[in-house]
Amino acid sequence: MLKHISLIIRHETEVPNRIGKVIEKLFHGYGVSVTEGKVNPQTEAIVVLGGDGTLLHVAGKAYQLGIPLLGINLGGLGFLTEIHINEMEQALDSLISGTFELDKRTILSVTLKVAGSKDSTYYALNEAVISKGPLSTIITLPTWAGGSFLTTYRGDGLIISSATGSTAYNLSAGGPILHPCIEALILTPICPFALNARPLILPGRMKVAIQLRNAREKISLVIDGQAGYELNEGDCVEVQKAQGHLKLIKSPIRNYFTILREKLGWAKGVGT
């Protein structure tokens, strides 16, 4: 039985706050304490009330604590926050009773290597993006995979995504959709200078290394669209599958393919 959960709400506005109070009351009725607005180190689960961006904001913390994460969708996309409001009560009951089903998602370990400085490691559920500023010139990114030189990407940047992130920025940039149970890395160039530069799927066990060359203007490393770090000439970014998984609580009603049809507007066929 749960003793403590953390509740993260997207915006301090009337509707999310009102729903948040309902959730708090439900948990208190079961004797479960609630911390709102931050992740308490003693928490046993995180409930997100918002959209995918809100969930991404706390996904790394949930992964590091090894606790389940439940997303209730108040946003537009909802690939990650897959619980609808009308499914909320059933999902919360399953969380409290411990009868929920987990979806184990790959987490990316993203390490920034800067000469003369200590390495910095970040965690991404969707992707790591290396990109130029809006007025910058084409950037040059020599790239290695599994220790072997792969190619040099030239363009506006490069997306390194997980299968979970395949329906995020990767999809917008023309990359493929992968089922989230597939452990893989997807390399998708952003507006490449060469027409033969195409998305590439690599085994999840491989480490990808990208070095910055000919960097004259501002270039950024962005993790899950949540945090950005400035890159300079010679800096190296290494991306690989992190140990373990993020424990994402599944919808008790809808499966991945149902969500895919809903979000991408695919027509319903026979048997749906």
Predicted confidence (pLDDT) per residue in 211-267, tens digit: 998 877 789 999 999 889 999 999 999 999 999 999 999 888 888 898 888 888 886
pLDDT category at 210 given cuts 50, 70, 90 is very high
256 is a domain residue: yes
Clarify whether residues 81 and 204 are in a common domain: no
Clarify whether residues 166 and 88 are in a common domain: no
Clarify whether residues 124 and 230 are in a common domain: yes
Clarify whether residues 154 and 223 are in a common domain: yes
Clarify whether residues 112 and 98 are in a common domain: no
* CATH number (domain holding residue 53): 3.40.50.10330
* HEC letters along the chain: CCCEEEEEECCCCHHHHHHHHHHHHHHHHCCCEEEECCCCCCCCCEEEEECHHHHHHHHHHHHHHCCCEEEEECCCCCCCCCECHHHHHHHHHHHHHCCCCEEEECCEEEEEECCCCCCEEEEECCEEEEEECCCCCCEEEEEEECCEEEEEEEECEEEEECCHHHHCHHHHCCCCCCCCCCCEEEEEEECCCCCCCCCEEEECCCCEEEECECCCCCEEEEECCCEEEEECCCCEEEEEECCCCEEEECCCCCCHHHHHHHHHCCCCCCCC
Q: How many domains does one find in the chain?
A: 2
Clarify whether residues 217 and 237 are in a common domain: yes
Domain limits for position 185 = 108-241
Query: Is residue 168 pLDDT above 80, yes or no?
Result: yes
* CATH number (domain holding residue 162): 2.60.200.30
Clarify whether residues 56 and 175 are in a common domain: no
51 is a domain residue: yes
Clarify whether residues 73 and 143 are in a common domain: no
Predicted model pTM: 0.92
Query: Is residue 206 pLDDT above 90, yes or no?
Result: yes
Percent of the chain whose pLDDT exceeds 70: 95
Active site residues: 52
Query: Is residue 272 pLDDT above 60, yes or no?
Result: no
